[in-house]
Amino acid sequence: MTIKELREKGWIILECISGSKAYGLNTPTSDTDIKGVFLLPKEEFYGLNYIPQIANETNDIVFYEFNRFMELLSVNNPNILELLNTPSESTIYKSPVFDKLKSEYFLSKICSKTFGKFALSQIKKAKGLKKKIVNPVAKERKSILHFCFINHEQGSISLLKYLEIKNWKQENCGLVNIPHMQNIFGLYYSDEKIYKGIMKSEIANEISLSSIPKNAKQEALFYFNKDGYSSYCREYREYWDWVEKRNESRYENTQHHGKNYDAKNMMHVFRLLEMAIEIAKEKKVNVKRPNRDFLLKIKSGEFDYDYLLNLANEKQKELEIAFETSNLPEKPNFEKINRLTFEIRKKLYEKRI
């Protein structure tokens, strides 16, 4: 089933503008995100074709099946609580059955954890971008040879430097295991091609071992920093995957403001923490944000990362205190939610007969 089929057959029961436009944080370059709820046809819901979620290719249009929507509400998922409480000016269509769903049935002290967890994930994303920008990985991939060292005189030098001093080729080297010495090998050399070399190719992930003649002379001890090479390979892959998939407009904005962190993620940190504090104190979800100017200043990179991180820590403490003193229930009334889920689905199916 596709979003087009949902629309054509009238199975959409809630459709809202979400994201920055619902928060009141949109700018001229903001996209329009859509979230909503659909009802799965009875034969598919009761059969083997249950579909919990349908989205377009870019994931900026997402619809949740009614049961999945209710399930996520029952665990105080921030995105779904926002969807339920979307302001009227951002609501495209809303079935009358949603009048039966009151926020008070769902809001609980669980929000302290769910909103806090989302906020923490945004901090990690912002910090992850900072790390990638400050520590770029060169496009030319290093080989095993860059992570190998040789004992030399009273210390050690890199293998590449050692080969340069000796005027040797890695292809003519031979390595052999040394018992009880992990990642340390005996190094041999011959001008004739009797050894397998240190590596078979530039993209090899393991060193090569050779058969060594009994009378061959060991030239040096060879150390392979295998853990260092594995870490480098992971960082190289993650960095260039990120370069390929990154949102260029957000990256350019980050480069423009020069603070080296994803300011949009940091903006959402404060949005989430402040929404959670409001839930604890006011028992309602305020989707449209009252402090638009402050949040957009964060997004534009007007504040240093460390300043925002300290401020976020203070907000986190405020959140914890707010929920400790709140008279919200510890968790939602699952029996009531279960009953409502059944009654609303039953009513919606009856309307289509």
pLDDT at 257 over 50: no
More confident residue, 49 or 111: 111
- Check residue 301 and give its pLDDT: 84
- Check residue 255 and give its pLDDT: 45
The two tokens of residue 110 are 């669980």
52-62: string of b/e by CB count within 10 Å (b at 16+)? eebeeeeeebb
pLDDT tens-digit profile of 152-170?
A: 888 999 999 999 999 999 9
The two tokens of residue 229 are 């090479």
pLDDT tens-digit profile of 295-341?
A: 999 988 888 888 988 999 999 999 999 999 999 999 999 999 999 99
pLDDT at 202 over 70: yes
95-119: string of b/e by CB count within 10 Å (b at 16+)? bebeeebeeebbbbbbbbebbbebb
> Average pLDDT in the 229-234 region?
92
- So where are the chain's domains? 1-102+332-353, 107-136+247-329, 144-229
pTM for this structure? 0.66
- Check residue 306 and give its pLDDT: 85
Question: What is the rounded average pLDDT for all residues in the chain?
Answer: 89
**In angstroms, rounded to a whole number, what is the distance separating the alpha carbons of residues 332 and 338?**
11
**In angstroms, rounded to a whole number, what is the distance separating the alpha carbons of residues 63 and 36?**
5
The two tokens of residue 84 are 């339920």
pLDDT at 129 over 80: no
When pLDDT is cut at 50, 70 and 90, the band that residue 23 belongs to is very high
**What is the residue type of 200?**
K
Identify the residue whose tokens are 């079935």: 95
When pLDDT is cut at 50, 70 and 90, the band that residue 103 belongs to is very high
Selection from 329, 316, 351, 301 nearest residue 118 by Cα: 316
pLDDT at 134 over 60: no
CB 50 within 8 A of CB 78: no
When pLDDT is cut at 50, 70 and 90, the band that residue 256 belongs to is very low
66-92: string of b/e by CB count within 10 Å (b at 16+)? bbbbbbbbbebbbebbbbbbbeeebbe
Question: CA torsion sign, 16 to 22 to 27 to 29?
Answer: negative
The two tokens of residue 71 are 């399930």
- Check residue 126 and give its pLDDT: 64
Residue 23 Cα distances to 15, 19, 39, angstroms = 16, 6, 26
pLDDT at 147 over 90: yes
Least confident of 9-23, 74-88, 201-215, 318-332: 201-215
**In angstroms, rounded to a whole number, what is the distance separating the alpha carbons of residues 34 and 21?**
10
When pLDDT is cut at 50, 70 and 90, the band that residue 235 belongs to is confident
Q: Could you tell me whether strands 61-65 and 220-224 are parallel, antiparallel, or unpaired per DSSP bridges?
A: unpaired
**In angstroms, rounded to a whole number, what is the distance separating the alpha carbons of residues 302 and 156?**
47
What does the DSSP assignment read for 281-320? HHSS---S-TTHHHHHHHHTT-S-HHHHHHHHHHHHHHHH
- Check residue 114 and give its pLDDT: 94
pLDDT tens-digit profile of 47-72?
A: 888 999 999 988 899 999 999 999 99
- Check residue 221 and give its pLDDT: 96
> Average pLDDT in the 18-46 region?
93
- Give percent of the chain above pLDDT 70: 91
> Average pLDDT in the 188-217 region?
93
**In angstroms, rounded to a whole number, what is the distance separating the alpha carbons of residues 288 and 87?**
7
- Check residue 262 and give its pLDDT: 73
**In angstroms, rounded to a whole number, what is the distance separating the alpha carbons of residues 86 and 335?**
25
Neighbouring CB atoms inside 10 A of 36's CB total: 25
- In this structure, which CATH number among 1.10.1740, 3.30.460, 3.55.50, 3.30.70 belongs to the domain 1-102+332-353? 3.30.460
